[in-house]
Amino acid sequence: MSQSLSQTFLAITRNNTDLEWLQGALAPLGQVVSAGGGSLDELLALVDVTFASLVFVGLDREHLVAQSALIEGVLEAKPMLAIVALGDGMDNQLVLNAMRAGARDFVAYGSRSSEVAGLVRRLSKRLPAVTPNAQLGGLTVLYGVQSNADGAFLANHMALVVQKSGQQTLLLDLGLPRGDSLALLGLESSFHFGDALRHLRRLDATLIDSAFTSAEAGLRILAYASGDEPLERTSAAELYMLLSALRQHFQHIVVNLTGQPDSEALRTFVSHCDKLLWYTDQNVLDCRRNLAVLNLWREKGMKLEHGRLLVDRYLRNVAPDSDTLGKTFGLEVISVLAFSPEIRLNAKNQGVTLFELAPREAISQTLRTLGERLAKRSEGLPKPKVNWFNRLRGTP
């Protein structure tokens, strides 16, 4: 995952209100991810994929025996993990049971943010350093509030360039409208994002080879289906598990999230990618909508140093220019893409890429350069092993 967040914490809380309180208190230090209902197997799996070293477990009188057993089970499997119990600070029985189960400390719900953050800082200094897996594939996110086909159109091209650089690449298209990455290339798929979530434990090389749609040069595409649950209903825990599995099989993943409303799931992608491309154009109304989300995230403490501004449909003689946009957003402008409406329309309608239709046009060359920059992140990563199923089919 990205180093833009220093730490990831897991939490089992009574409700979303408690989770949001904890997320707000620890926003300067990292991201708090809900660990769901408290299954020991799921919690241990999440510890492995998030590299978390600290877990918050909420306690209450009604479920105290099971909650204490969960703490004991986690520490038996992961003795170096730090557990912090959450609960009613006036209930001495909760505090006593938490300490007996092995919790390092106890935090009362509603405590001041400075107290919670201070406790976590002190505990973190005493915990062993956790090093994320450097062999995980690169992760690039394209995001903007605009909901149109251009997000998928650009993501297709960037992912294709990374694939052609020699890296096994996946385009994860979760943008709105749904499935445009496939439609633009005249492709169909019987396996979608929702299927991948349902088959997390079976997501191996064989399933990927047989079920994921293949495009030009071997680029794989996994997209939304019309019947998939909205992204905001996908838990951060599920996304961690999915991304961890996919990044073991692909050297680079390009994720299209354009048009998605703000949600914890969206923030999980944004916070943990290697490169965030914030997608906008010169339309002042769209810029305002983008800035509203960007400023909200900054107010909540999200760290966006890995963010860059991508300005699309750019007209040099129209204000605001790229320099003004970069200063307004507080992001470095990574690239500007020419308007080129006729070429874009022809490419979309014919189901071909700009590289095939108009390789010498400015927009084609700019997209190629942008894709090459993204590919550098995962240049040194080893290729996933070729399995027997690939050899049997004679595919690389």
Query: DSSP labels for 245-305?
Result: HHHTT-SEEEEE-TTPPP-HHHHHHHHH-SEEEEEE-S-HHHHHHHHHHHHHHHHTT---T
pLDDT above 50: residue 3: no
pLDDT of residue 133: 60
CA dihedral over 33, 36, 40, 41, signed as positive or negative: negative
Count of beta carbons in the 10 Å neighbourhood of residue 93:
12
For range 306-313, the mean pLDDT? 97
363: confidence class by pLDDT, cuts 50, 70, 90: very high
Count of beta carbons in the 10 Å neighbourhood of residue 140:
26
Q: Find out whether 256 and 171 touch, Cβ atoms under 8 Å.
A: yes
Tokens of 292: 């509203």
pLDDT of residue 50: 87
Percent of the chain exceeding pLDDT 70 equals 92
pLDDT above 60: residue 2: no
pLDDT of residue 288: 98
What value, to the nearest 5°, has the Cα angle with vertex 109 and ends 91 and 271?
A: 150
pLDDT of residue 6: 58
Mean pLDDT, the chain, whole residue set: 91
Q: Is the peptide bond before 177 cis (omega within 30 degrees of 0)?
A: yes
Locate the DSSP E strands across 25-124: 30-34, 54-58, 82-87, 105-108
For range 209-218, the mean pLDDT? 96
38: confidence class by pLDDT, cuts 50, 70, 90: confident
pLDDT above 90: residue 212: yes
pLDDT in tens, 126-185: 887 665 565 678 999 999 999 999 999 999 999 999 999 999 999 999 999 999 999 999
Sheet with 30-34, edge to edge strand ranges = 30-34, 7-12, 54-58, 82-87, 105-108
Strand, coil or helix: what is 369?
helix
Q: Is the peptide bond before 341 cis (omega within 30 degrees of 0)?
A: no
Q: Find out whether 57 and 19 touch, Cβ atoms under 8 Å.
A: no
Percentage helix, strand, coil, to 5, in the chain?
A: 45, 15, 35
pLDDT of residue 393: 41
For residue 48, the number of C-alpha atoms closer than 13 Å in the C-beta half-sphere is 12
Q: For the chain, what's the residue count?
A: 396
Please, which residues bridge with residue 336 across strands?
311
280: confidence class by pLDDT, cuts 50, 70, 90: very high
Single pTM value for the model: 0.87
Q: Find out whether 306 and 269 touch, Cβ atoms under 8 Å.
A: no
Domains of the chain, each with CATH number or no CATH:
7-126 (3.40.50.2300), 138-378 (3.40.50.300)
Q: Find out whether 34 and 237 touch, Cβ atoms under 8 Å.
A: yes
Instruction: Give CA–CA dist 17/23, Å, rounded.
Output: 10
What value, to the nearest 5°, has the Cα angle with vertex 195 and ends 55 and 36?
A: 20
pLDDT in tens, 239-252: 989 999 999 999 99
272: confidence class by pLDDT, cuts 50, 70, 90: confident
pLDDT in tens, 72-90: 999 999 999 999 999 998 8
What value, to the nearest 5°, has the Cα angle with vertex 291 and ends 7 and 137?
A: 40
